[in-house]
Amino acid sequence: MPFCPQCGTRLQRVRRRTIDKLVSFLVPLNRYRCLSSGCIWEGNIRSGLRSRFVFLYWLLLVLAAMLVGRFITR
């Protein structure tokens, strides 16, 4: 479990909003809320493992787009 960026307390995973799910197609996100009673921090944190695969996926997509672009301009 990650820790709160404001107070360092452990975070609890909460349900994502619709907009978070949409953003998750590009960047995998998990939504967290701070467990400390004195802190109201709530926000999105990128999920570690899958984001690397998504990064590679986008890298491949950009490379493919560049290759296709070359063929078209030729």
Instruction: Determine phi and psi for 10, rounding to 5 degrees.
Output: -65, 150
Nearer of residues 36 and 47 to Zn ion, judged by Cβ: 36
Q: Which stretch binds Zn ion (CB under 5 A): 4-12, 16-24, 43-51, 63-71?
A: 4-12
Nearer of residues 6 and 51 to Zn ion, judged by Cβ: 6
Q: Is 41 in the site for Zn ion (CB under 5 A)?
A: yes
- CA dist 66 and 60 (Å) reads 10
Would you tell me which residues interact with Zn ion (CB under 5 A)?
4, 6-7, 9, 34, 36, 39, 41
